[in-house]
Amino acid sequence: MAELLKIEDISVNYGAIKALKNVSMKVNKGDIVSLIGANGAGKSTLLKAIVGLEPLIDGSISYSDSILATNNVRKSISTENIAKLGISLVPEGRHVFADMSVEENLDMGAFLVRDDAIIRQKKEEMFEFFPILGERRNQKTRSLSGGEQQMMAIARALMSSPNLLLLDEPGLGLAPLVVQDIFDKIAYINKTEKITVFLVEQNAKMALKASTEGYVMENGRIVLSGSSEELLTSKQVQEAYLGA
Ligand SMILES: Nc1ncnc2c1ncn2[C@@H]1O[C@H](COP(=O)(O)OP(=O)(O)OP(=O)(O)O)[C@@H](O)[C@H]1O
Ligand SMILES: [Mg+2]
């Protein structure tokens, strides 16, 4: 399988805090890859580095044939241009526009799309993926449940027709059944739309079940990686993350 995203030996600091230390990983085209780790491990920092929101102290990030980021800011690509390359991030905590309707939120996700007919078609596609959003299309987003808001945040990210979808803890604060429903949708979208997914989660079990490959991060380092199946049955993962 061809590599779509390649992270080589990157480090990110916040002042004196070393948030990422020599992290390397890759995401192959078409896969769902998960990154699991506890609070403060550095998961969100890694996603921010991928989309150009945190500069690298060291290492490089490449996507397809483009270098996204290096420790030389001038050779790195801006967040807007990274979006234009087909990378879409659903940030932690969703960041929905609460006073806008569902449909208006989806319109915001299509800010790179110039053609209104395509935007309308994309919205209808999203309402097929997430029928509940279609039913709520004119409703203010603040009136949606947490799970519905998460679905909307994912749909908004899909409005730009990305090749790579980055998800930062889509299951955060949601009941297991709702998380399962969302992960099932993600799997369906991965398969039908051929969108590669990089899934960051604290919920190790659900993330590993939903993915083919996985990485484990602790204190800014990757400490384990392998097929998700291997990780699910590994003693180290079971003891530290699965409560076994
Ligand atoms: N803007 C910032 N300034 C200073 N330190 C930060 C900043 N953002 C994150 N950190 C620190 O960097 C480390 C990694 O944080 P990060 O948000 O990447 O973790 P995380 O794995 O996403 O955690 P969580 O699961 O709680 O979201 C933490 O120690 C955090 O306190
Ligand atoms: Mg985080």
Q: Per-domain residue ranges for the chain?
A: 1-86+165-179+196-244, 90-161
State pLDDT tens for residues 118-149: 999 999 999 999 999 999 999 999 999 999 99
Burial 94-117 (b: 16+ CB within 10 A, else e): bebeeeebbbebbbebbeeeeeee
Cβ of 16 below 6 Å from ligand 1: no
Has residue 1 got a pLDDT over 90?
no
- What global pTM score does this model have? 0.95
Beta strands, E only, 91-158: none
Q: What is the mean pLDDT of residues 43-52?
A: 97
pLDDT of residue 75: 85
Task: Give distance in angstroms: CA of 60 to centre of ligand 2.
Answer: 21
Contact (Cβ atoms closer than 8 angstroms) between residue 180 and residue 207:
no
Dist CA 170 CA 156 (whole Å): 13
Dist CA 243 CA 155 (whole Å): 32
State pLDDT tens for residues 93-122: 888 899 999 999 999 999 889 899 999 999
CA distances from 78 to 5, 16, 64, 235, 244 (A): 17, 25, 16, 41, 43
Cβ of 13 below 6 Å from ligand 1: no
Has residue 86 got a pLDDT over 70?
yes
Dist CA 67 CA 5 (whole Å): 10
- CATH code linked to domain 1-86+165-179+196-244: 3.40.50.300
Cβ of 92 below 6 Å from ligand 1: yes
pLDDT of residue 94: 81
Has residue 242 got a pLDDT over 90?
no
